[in-house]
Amino acid sequence: MFDMLHAAQAAGQWTGFPFGPGLAGSWLLAICKFLFIGLVLALIMWILRRVFGPGGFLRDRELDREAAEERQNRREARMVLEQRLARGEISPEDYTKRKETLEG
């Protein structure tokens, strides 16, 4: 009877790696616990990025289309700005200000 009760109590506690008693043990063990948890979180973030990020198979295609249009519009505006500078319609200071506005 005692063995079953002890086993039930032990099963309810999170004593296994990486959920052991905090910094108990060596510093190397504590650092390994944090690295392991960080690795698991990084893996989850990478999977979510591949699934829902740009080009992901569960991402709304409208978002990718809007982003591509925005990049194209900025590229065209930058080209017009460079042409105006080359023709002497704007000063280099004005060019710099407008370019920062476009990129910002």
Structural contact between residues 90 and 84, judged by C-beta atoms closer than 8 angstroms: yes
Structural contact between residues 13 and 20, judged by C-beta atoms closer than 8 angstroms: no
* Predicted local confidence at residue 1, as pLDDT: 46
* Predicted local confidence at residue 18, as pLDDT: 57
Q: How many CB atoms lie within 10 A of CB 19?
A: 11
Mean of the per-residue pLDDT values for the chain? Answer: 80
Say whether pTM exceeds 0.85: no
Greater model confidence, 43 or 2 = 43
CA 16 to chain CA centroid, Å, is 29
* Predicted local confidence at residue 60, as pLDDT: 82
- DSSP letter for each residue of 30-85: HHHHHHHHHHHHHHHHHHHHHHHSTT-TTS-HHHHHHHHHHHHHHHHHHHHHHHHH
* pLDDT tens, residue by residue, 14-64: 555 555 655 666 778 778 888 988 999 999 999 999 998 888 888 888 877
* Predicted local confidence at residue 2, as pLDDT: 47
Amino acid at 55: G
